[in-house]
A and B are shown apart, each in its own frame.
Chain A
Amino acid sequence: MAETVLRLTNITKRFGPLVANDSISLELAAGEVIALLGENGAGKTTLMNILFGHYVADEGTVEAFGKLLPPGDPRAALDAGIGMVHQHFTLADNMTVLENIALGTQSPWSWKLDRSGARARIRKLSEDFGLAVDPDKTVAQLSVGERQRVEILKALYRNARILILDEPTAVLTPLETDALFATLKMLVAKGMSIIFISHKMHEVMAVSNRVMVLRGGKLVGGRETAGATRQELAALMVGQEVAFPPVEAVPRGEELFSLENVSTTPRAGGSALHNVSLSLYGGVITGLAGVSGNGQAALAALLSGTEKPLSGQIRIAGGEVSAWSPREALARGIARVPEDRHAVGSIGDMSVTENVISERYRSERFSRHGFMDWKAARAFAEELIRDYDVKCPSPDARIRLLSGGNMQKLILGRALDPDPVVILANQPTRGLDVGAVAYVHKKLLEARARGAAILLISEDLDEILSLSDEVRVIFKGRLSSPSQRGERSVQEIGELMAGHGIGEAA
């Protein structure tokens, strides 16, 4: 029996009326990899934040290497040999890799930062663990995969012996994920103990020795990975069987929307499009795979009407489009499910009613002679709440109070209600739990059956592959050739996502 390096005992954490962690106990042995599996909102991240001292637990204790950790003190956790790689990286973008790693490792009263010593140590760790990264680059210059390596180096630099990774693969390409898993294996071989947080079953099966399942803040089960089946774990995680809607064959319709050799103006925080041609057909879901920041935002903005092509042509139902604006896009029957439902998709402090009519408040249905018809608006909101099974106290509630899944249902309802011709679904299920994901998929498939053309942009490759009739991969603003359902393997798509095969000429 290996030594127990970490012991959580009866951890309970409440946020107001919500119990995020309900009396959770957990033990981690030396050299072991535990996967913490659970849906979004199950309490995985909260638990790890308590362990690391970001949050203070209402009850319970954390012990590392036999010593009790003082609550709410990240420094104590670090000193005890715990390193954490957060889902949202805790890196200062405008500072160098070296500065980010050395931060907090030298006495604040020392008169000089020892850069050369830190550089040498980072180089050595990089070589020992195969985590190649240039210490003198600024973080802003690094790819997402490299940033994650910096996070792992931060922990290694402090001699961490327990490593916590919170959804580490969410932002990685399949190739980067493989590299990460290889690194983890090497770390474990050198005596590291790891807690790996995920909601993706195949990753859990691939890396862990033991799986602990969290649901609704409770630890609902633990299994040796070797003896567990995916079905068993999925049932534990969700609490019930979730039926995903079947994808039935639908005849391919007319070309409803197309881009011909479209390029866009360079933008901050993502690639512009270069000579992109894309056709969307009725009854077809076109899936766009790719690592985020490769031009998805520009493409989504084009469809939404918030961006105009620099060169090239937009056609709707074969006709050339001259004046292009968000209002024009809506008028032509393009529906949008925006990527960020909080920042773009809704106005948090306005009511559900106001939000659901925000795209159509000028229509005859909701206003007369410049005056709002609030009765009709409210009736529409009530209709959506009922039809889409939205859990919401009233149409007057501020939309920010709704959970992600309920907010997304409303946004989906707002987009689909006018029976749009073309649907842009940008990350439609990001951050939703399994039940809500299945619901969104069902609605998109219904729209497809009705003959709408759908562009599905997603970082979740499984989602793309299960829903799309046709897949395109985007890399640095260029599109791959289309492939039909089942034509390309996950590996082939992964290669394309990394840019192999999408050349300057293509």
Chain B
Amino acid sequence: MIEAFDILLTASFWVAAIRIASPLIFATMGELICERAGVLNLGIEGIMVAGAFAGWITVYLGGDLWFGLVVAALAGAAFGLLHATLTVPLGLSQHVCGIGITLLATSLSYFTYRLVLPEVTSPPRIEPFQPLPIPGLSEIPVIGPALFNQTPLTYLAFITVALVAWVLYRTPLGLAVRAAGENPSAVEAQGISVTAIRMGSVIVGSALMAIGGAFLTMSAFNSFFFEMINGRGWICIALVVFGSWRPGKALLGAILFAAFDAYQVRLQQLTGGAVPYQLFLMMPFVLSILALVVMARRATYPKALMIPYQKGER
């Protein structure tokens, strides 16, 4: 039991937790922006696959890492544009379109992979982002390595949270985004186009999801595998609810989930097969559901979430 607790005090545990949290943070912020504007984006899972693939293949084909990241974001934005066009001006079911986008983006990524690498059995590696220790801060015990000896993308994830929070709560643009998710007719009556706000939010949000996916192939690992997103997108949907649609709380949720995940791996090693490993794999999900029950019971969701807005309808 002591050993199980000691894990929590090791630097390597927290380093892993923050690393696992990073892609979730990007994608959760992306989903949060979409939902704040009133559009559920179930394309998240597929958009993460597309981002993971697009970034990685760009680098593999000779692109710079940062250029690869931009390509990933653009791929995400393209799928975002598709989802936004279907759900905002056309007002189609957000559930159905989102699932469609997930299937399309996933299959398209795998298909392109086979087109580019027809003969390959094990996927080639790239040189991923390397940890960039922040001088001074990274020397602090435990939290130093966890927070200040990560790759640049992890720093970017935390900056993104601050930026999203600032824009949503401190700028006129964020006000319009939140209002579009609460009552689109209020936005319309104040002379702002609901269509523009919602489409813009979905496109930007989808780009962030794709960056979340790219983190896996370009920072956490150095290659692209099928099934590597493995439900992370769906976790992010839950994290948005867990965070009551607030960036700060969603960030905490992402770190909490990642910590569970990092913990179960270490616990598996500790018990050494005495307990079926599936039990440990299950743990972060079970704990997430419990946390959701506690945290999200009184969450006030955006009132116009999933309700299409059609101008001039009666």
Picked from B173, B179, B188, B190, the residue with its CB within 8 Å of the CB of A154 is B190
Shortest Cβ distance from B182 into chain A, in angstroms?
A: 4
Task: Please state if B171 and A111 are interface contacts (CB–CB under 8 Å).
Answer: yes
B176 at the interface (CB under 8 A from A): yes
Bound: A84/B192 CA distance, A: 15
B121 at the interface (CB under 8 A from A): no
Picked from A49, A84, A90, A107, the residue with its CB within 8 Å of the CB of B312 is A49
The residue on B at minimum CB distance from A99 is B175
A113 at the interface (CB under 8 A from B): yes
Q: Contacts A15-B314, A56-B312 hold; do A90 and B188 have CB atoms under 8 A apart?
A: yes
Bound: A55/B314 CA distance, A: 10
A108 at the interface (CB under 8 A from B): yes
Picked from A49, A77, A94, A106, the residue with its CB within 8 Å of the CB of B182 is A94
Q: Contacts A104-B192, A107-B172, A108-B173 hold; do A90 and B314 have CB atoms under 8 A apart?
A: no
Task: Please state if B189 and A94 are interface contacts (CB–CB under 8 Å).
Answer: no
* Mask: chain B, 177-221; 1 = CB below 8 Å from A; 0 = not: 011001101111111100000000000000000000000000000
Picked from B170, B182, B190, the residue with its CB within 8 Å of the CB of A113 is B170
Picked from B170, B182, B186, B190, the residue with its CB within 8 Å of the CB of A78 is B190
Interface, chain A (partner B; CB < 8 A)? 15, 46, 49, 52, 54-56, 72, 74-75, 77-79, 84, 86, 88, 90-95, 99-100, 102-113, 154
Contacts of A79 in B (CB 8 A): 191
Task: Please state if B191 and A108 are interface contacts (CB–CB under 8 Å).
Answer: no
Q: Taking each of B171, B187, B190, which has the highest tally of chain A beta carbons within 10 Å of its own beta carbon?
A: B190
Task: Please state if B192 and A75 are interface contacts (CB–CB under 8 Å).
Answer: yes
Picked from B170, B176, B300, B312, the residue with its CB within 8 Å of the CB of A103 is B176
Contacts of A90 in B (CB 8 A): 183, 185-186, 188-190
Bound: A77/B314 CA distance, A: 20
B311 at the interface (CB under 8 A from A): yes
- Given A74-B190, A100-B179, 5 more contacts at CB 8 Å? A86-B185, A104-B190, A111-B171, A113-B170, A113-B171
Shortest Cβ distance from A446 into chain B, in angstroms?
A: 35
B125 at the interface (CB under 8 A from A): no
Q: How many residues of B contact A (CB 8 A)?
A: 24
B114 at the interface (CB under 8 A from A): no
Task: Please state if A75 and B171 are interface contacts (CB–CB under 8 Å).
Answer: no
The residue on B at minimum CB distance from A154 is B190
Task: Please state if B189 and A102 are interface contacts (CB–CB under 8 Å).
Answer: no
Task: Please state if A112 and B170 are interface contacts (CB–CB under 8 Å).
Answer: yes
Bound: A107/B192 CA distance, A: 11
* Mask: chain B, 292-305; 1 = CB below 8 Å from A; 0 = not: 00000000100100
Q: Contacts A93-B303, A110-B172 hold; do A84 and B189 have CB atoms under 8 A apart?
A: yes
Shortest Cβ distance from B38 into chain A, in angstroms?
A: 11
Picked from B172, B188, B300, B311, the residue with its CB within 8 Å of the CB of A108 is B172
Task: Please state if A95 and B172 are interface contacts (CB–CB under 8 Å).
Answer: no
The residue on B at minimum CB distance from A155 is B189
Contacts of B175 in A (CB 8 A): 95, 99, 102-103, 113
Shortest Cβ distance from B304 into chain A, in angstroms?
A: 9
The residue on B at minimum CB distance from A46 is B314
Contacts of B176 in A (CB 8 A): 103-104, 108
Picked from A46, A54, A93, A102, the residue with its CB within 8 Å of the CB of B188 is A54
Shortest Cβ distance from B313 into chain A, in angstroms?
A: 10
Bound: A473/B38 CA distance, A: 40
Contacts of A154 in B (CB 8 A): 189-190
Bound: A347/B182 CA distance, A: 27
Contacts of B186 in A (CB 8 A): 90-92, 100, 103
* Mask: chain B, 257-269; 1 = CB below 8 Å from A; 0 = not: 0000000000000
Q: Contacts A106-B172, A110-B172 hold; do A93 and B191 have CB atoms under 8 A apart?
A: no
Q: Contacts A92-B179, A95-B179 hold; do A74 and B172 have CB atoms under 8 A apart?
A: no
Contacts of A74 in B (CB 8 A): 188-191
Bound: A94/B182 CA distance, A: 7
Contacts of B172 in A (CB 8 A): 102-108, 110, 113
Q: Contacts A54-B312, A55-B312, A110-B171 hold; do A86 and B189 have CB atoms under 8 A apart?
A: yes
Q: Identify 17 residue pairs between A and B in the complex whose beta-carbon atoms are under 8 Å apart, listed by A's number.
A: A55-B312, A72-B312, A79-B191, A84-B189, A90-B185, A92-B303, A95-B182, A99-B175, A103-B190, A103-B192, A105-B190, A108-B172, A108-B176, A109-B173, A110-B171, A112-B170, A113-B171
The residue on B at minimum CB distance from A107 is B172
Shortest Cβ distance from A29 into chain B, in angstroms?
A: 25
The residue on A at minimum CB distance from B312 is A55
CB-based closest 4 A-B pairs? A104-B190, A75-B191, A92-B182, A90-B189
Contacts of B191 in A (CB 8 A): 74-75, 77-79, 104
Shortest Cβ distance from A100 into chain B, in angstroms?
A: 7
Contacts of B182 in A (CB 8 A): 92-95
The residue on A at minimum CB distance from B174 is A113
Contacts of A77 in B (CB 8 A): 191
Q: Taking each of B171, B176, B187, B303, which has the highest tally of chain A beta carbons within 10 Å of its own beta carbon?
A: B171
Q: Taking each of A46, A54, A78, A86, which has the highest tally of chain B beta carbons within 10 Å of its own beta carbon?
A: A54
Interface residues of B in 277-314 (CB under 8 A from A): 300, 303, 311-312, 314
Contacts of B178 in A (CB 8 A): 92, 95, 99
The residue on B at minimum CB distance from A112 is B170
The residue on B at minimum CB distance from A115 is B170
Contacts of B170 in A (CB 8 A): 111-113
Shortest Cβ distance from B233 into chain A, in angstroms?
A: 27
Bound: A54/B173 CA distance, A: 22
The residue on B at minimum CB distance from A50 is B312
Shortest Cβ distance from B183 into chain A, in angstroms?
A: 4
Contacts of B187 in A (CB 8 A): 103-104
Task: Please state if B183 and A91 are interface contacts (CB–CB under 8 Å).
Answer: yes
Contacts of A113 in B (CB 8 A): 170-172, 174-175
